[in-house]
Structure 1
Amino acid sequence: MSDRLVILGSKGGPAIRPEGPMPTSSLLELAGRRIVVDCGLGVTVGLVDADMHLRDLDLIFITHLHSDHVLEMGPLIHTAWTAGLAKPVTVHGPPGVGDVWDGFCRSMSYDIQTRIEDEGRPDIRELVRIEEYGEGPVLDEGGLSVAALRVVHPPVTDCFALSFQGGGRKIVFSADTAYFPPLAHFARNADILVHEAMLEAGVDALVARTGNAASLKKHLMDSHTLAGDAGRIASLAECGHLLLHHLIPADDPNFGEEEWHDAVRKTWSGPLMVARDGLEIRLD
């Protein structure tokens, strides 16, 4: 298995629109592990499109409990189970992620029990281990180490950037966050910093189309990072590459790669990528 990073869903926020991208999720294959980072709507199809057999599902990390990061966690695991998953899966998430899983299992109890009895499947509830984490070391096993940093994403308090190290590489995900300079130290010398990004002009266009414009814009500006500030974090961290992710806006035809590059080039001069659904980056 070659190490790679695949963006499965690249947009910020839970809404989807015709021919638009899907909410946030990524596949990181590193140090012999298959790691799903966040489970926005569409993650299951995204994994299949990335040529991953769902029965090989291994590790899931949830950065926080907003729906565009956790909505399809249960359905992903259940669909993998119906596709032949028979080995344990570990879900690492913030406090409350266990309630999300337990609630899903309760909602699907009839189907789960029927398939156990009628199809001879193992009990899905016994295959899944939930590990709730906080700031600091999260995992260290088999050549893979993972650490978490609490970031600023009001009103959510349990939202964490994640650092994955293995095979001589370091990949860091910012999660959803306002501009947060301590993230630069956390991401120091990362091969790739996957950082959320927002275009201010795009935000104005976005909120103009909604009925809750004032509240939505305040939330976005208080809780997310402008693209230029993502570039500042990457420069301070001296990263190898910056990958803009969780894009706001991601589905406005008036804002494309040129606008993202223009916004970032004032603060970051290194290699730059803009996420899109299905983008695959070979880490070798």
Structure 2
Amino acid sequence: MSQNYVALLGTKGGPAIRPGSSMPTSNLFCLDGQQIVVDCGLGVTRGLVDQGMQLKDLSLIFISHLHSDHYLELGPLLHTAWTAGLSSKVDVWGPAGLDVYWQGFLASMKADIELRIEDEGRPDLRDLLQIHVMDAGIVMERDGLSISAIRTEHPPLVDCFALSFKTSSAHVVFSGDTAPIAALEDFARGADLLIHEAMLENALPALMKRVGNGSDKLMAHWLRSHTFAHDAAKTATQAGVRQLALSHLIPSDDPAYGEQDWKEAVADFWEGPLHVGHDGLKIML
């Protein structure tokens, strides 16, 4: 049987990158031989290749919500996979409106796509992608893999989803971006791994200063739309999951804070195996 694992390709919360920072959100789930890409923030293509994935093998992608740090590189990933030999269908699941992004990307690359079809004999990229609108409930079932979704609390967006991936041998839950919600406890009940977004509470004022061009609205957004690390730990404990991974870290690039700070933030609320996310981290299931 194939190894079951999750690779955290990009673990930074938010779209900005700075010298020394990690990359925005993207993940690779390998479950019972099936490879699933979850979110496509900046850097996803390089991250997949660094994990040894052949981009031409892309077949299934999930986008949790339409914030740029979760889908900015979807188009470039698919185009690059196409130039790397992709010739089979790719199913992409995401919120309503993702098709508008895709059509805009195709329009921006029309000249290149048509040139490569004519000059290099490639199949038409526009025929290879099927976008499906995701909603809460059972999203899809394929080859023993069952994927379901619930809406999270991430205002002002409404179509923002946590995702559950379950096979006969593994169960992984991805929180997406969310404030703490009780529904996630039942949704993740007994999972082998919960990947949960996390903020470090005492680091937020310094982050505001480094951002430089945000108003008090940015702080208000963080507080109403995201989860402190200690609250992520509470959710994991209440859900009875086996492992907890903190990702979409806010902040992830402040040298004044490191792995020990995250461990201390959850210590009073979580006793199980803890993974503090960093780009390229591979978690075995």
- Return 170-179 or 207-216, whichever deviates more: 207-216
Paired AA for residue 252 in structure 1:
D
TM-score, structure 2 as length reference = 0.97
Give distance in 1, aligned partners of 2:157 and 2:272: 31
Report deviation, 1:2.
Answer: 2.3
Identity %: 55
Quote the residue 2:9 is aligned against. Answer: 8
Which of 274, 279, 282 is the aligned partner of 1:280? 282
- For 1:124-139, list aligned pairs within 5 A: 124-139=125-140
Give distance in 2, aligned partners of 1:207 and 1:179: 22
Q: CA RMSD in A?
A: 0.9
Asked if the contact 2:207–2:251 (Cα under 8 Å) also holds between the matched residues in 1, the reply is yes
Residues 82-110 of structure 1: CA distance to partner in whole angstroms, max 9, x if unpaired?
Answer: 00001111100011111111111111111
Give distance in 1, aligned partners of 2:83 and 2:120: 10
1:57 equivalent to 2:58? Answer yes
1:225 equivalent to 2:202? Answer no
Give distance in 2, aligned partners of 1:211 and 1:61: 31
- For 1:112-191, list aligned pairs within 5 A: 112-191=113-192
Which of 269, 272, 283 is the aligned partner of 1:270? 272
Asked if the contact 2:3–2:32 (Cα under 8 Å) also holds between the matched residues in 1, the reply is no
Paired AA for residue 261 in structure 1:
K
Give distance in 1, aligned partners of 2:246 and 2:215: 24
Asked if the contact 2:4–2:170 (Cα under 8 Å) also holds between the matched residues in 1, the reply is no
Paired AA for residue 194 in structure 2:
L
1:253 equivalent to 2:250? Answer no
Quote the residue 1:96 is aligned against. Answer: 97
Report deviation, 1:270.
Answer: 1.2
Give distance in 2, aligned partners of 1:142 and 1:160: 23
Give distance in 1, aligned partners of 2:257 and 2:215: 19
Unaligned runs of 5+ in 2: none
Quote the residue 2:35 is aligned against. Answer: 34
TM-score, structure 1 as length reference = 0.98
Paired AA for residue 14 in structure 2:
G
Paired AA for residue 109 in structure 1:
K
Report how many aligned residue pairs link the two structures: 283
What secondary structure sits across from 2:96 in the alignment?
Answer: coil
Unaligned runs of 5+ in 1: none
Quote the residue 1:234 is aligned against. Answer: 236
